[in-house]
Amino acid sequence: MNQHSSSTDLMAEDLTEGVRTLTLLNGRAHPLSSAMIAALHAALHRAADDPETRVLLITAPGHIFCAGHDLKEIAQHRLDADRGKAFLTTLFTACAEMMLTLARFPKPTIAMVDGIATAAGLQLAASCDLRFVSTAATFCLPGVNNGGFCTTPAVGVSRAISRNHTMELALSGEALGADWATRSGLATRLYAPMDLHRDTLAFAMKLATRNPGPIAAGKVALDAHLGLSLEDAYALATPVMIDHFMDEGRLTREAARLF
């Protein structure tokens, strides 16, 4: 059993049985401040390059998974000469780059959500491959309530669920519950709060035992072929599938079963 852990004021990291858990610790609401975005992005790069990390799990304690961008930090820059436009440009560019790194992460990613995921916090969860949520979880794109629209969060969310369900979130501004998340496909699996951590970690540790090479290649191929015609999708997927069967890890496992 391998176990390594570290912690800062913003985030804790733990590696157990191939599962690297990133736990947001940025205050009670765990907002995506500029410092939190930078810390997450750095952690993603480290985990991508770490051969011991087979699965990435993102979570947060308490009743808020992530409240989105740090509105207090943004408000401080409203006093700038440009009313904060330069700061917002830097902030949202950095956030988009971090979300892209998460969405294109070469290893399986899971968001474990036990509270509210709102605005960019929902974007963070939606950018993961899977979302394991508790019955206490809620999901919200509240921009319209504040005179705006959750445009960049909707990029990540619309890749996880249908346009219709994304619009329901973005136009209502309402916090929708775990049952809605299950119906919409946002929630991959639903658990009682008392079971969420145990069952999510058990799934992640089992997934961490799988052959990493074909998983990484398969994730890339899946993203690539979704936008293609059926004919082109099979043309892209077929050589990748052949490579899976020729992968040394698979051949070793096949040999072990034969003898």
Which one, of 39, 38, 35, 34, lies nearest residue 23 by Cα? 39
41-53 mean pLDDT: 97
CA gap 194, 32 in Å, rounded: 27
Helix or strand or coil: residue 123?
helix
Q: How confident is the model at residue 248 (pLDDT cuts 50, 70, 90)?
A: confident
Detail the DSSP E strand segments found in 123-168: 130-134, 138-140
Regarding whether 101 and 18 lie in a shared domain, the answer is: yes
- What pLDDT score was predicted for residue 8? 80
* Residue that is last in its domain, among 172, 188, 207: 207
Predicted confidence (pLDDT) at residue 259 exceeds the cutoff of 70: no
**DSSP state for residue 69 in the 8-state scheme:** B
Burial 117-142 (b: 16+ CB within 10 A, else e): bbbbbbbbbbbbbbbbbbbbbbbbbb
Lowest mean pLDDT among 76-85, 151-160, 180-189: 76-85
Regarding whether 245 and 170 lie in a shared domain, the answer is: no
- For the chain, how many structural domains are there in total? 2
Q: 139, 169 in Cβ contact below 8 A?
A: yes
Percent with pLDDT over 90 in the chain: 88
Predicted confidence (pLDDT) at residue 97 exceeds the cutoff of 80: yes
**DSSP state for residue 32 in the 8-state scheme:** B
Q: Name 6's bridge partners.
A: 13
At 217, which CATH number? 1.10.287
Provide the terminal-to-terminal Cα distance of the chain, rounded to the nearest Å.
Answer: 27
CA gap 199, 4 in Å, rounded: 21
Token code pair at residue 109: 């990613």
Regarding whether 187 and 161 lie in a shared domain, the answer is: yes
Regarding whether 217 and 178 lie in a shared domain, the answer is: no
- What pLDDT score was predicted for residue 254? 64
- What pLDDT score was predicted for residue 2? 66
**DSSP state for residue 18 in the 8-state scheme:** T
Regarding whether 65 and 10 lie in a shared domain, the answer is: yes
At 60, which CATH number? 3.90.226.10
Q: 111, 131 in Cβ contact below 8 A?
A: yes
Predicted confidence (pLDDT) at residue 245 exceeds the cutoff of 80: yes
Regarding whether 98 and 150 lie in a shared domain, the answer is: yes
Regarding whether 145 and 52 lie in a shared domain, the answer is: yes
Regarding whether 228 and 107 lie in a shared domain, the answer is: no
Q: How confident is the model at residue 26 (pLDDT cuts 50, 70, 90)?
A: confident
Regarding whether 231 and 148 lie in a shared domain, the answer is: no
Predicted confidence (pLDDT) at residue 174 exceeds the cutoff of 70: yes
Regarding whether 247 and 202 lie in a shared domain, the answer is: no
224-244 mean pLDDT: 94
- What pLDDT score was predicted for residue 24? 97
Q: 196, 111 in Cβ contact below 8 A?
A: no
Regarding whether 230 and 202 lie in a shared domain, the answer is: no
Lowest mean pLDDT among 151-155, 185-189, 253-257: 253-257
CA gap 119, 122 in Å, rounded: 5
Amino acid identity of 188?
Answer: T
Predicted confidence (pLDDT) at residue 251 exceeds the cutoff of 80: no
Mean per-residue pLDDT of the chain = 94
Q: How confident is the model at residue 4 (pLDDT cuts 50, 70, 90)?
A: confident
Q: 181, 169 in Cβ contact below 8 A?
A: no
Helix or strand or coil: residue 178?
helix
Regarding whether 172 and 95 lie in a shared domain, the answer is: yes
- Which residues span the domain enclosing 233? 212-258
Predicted confidence (pLDDT) at residue 255 exceeds the cutoff of 70: no
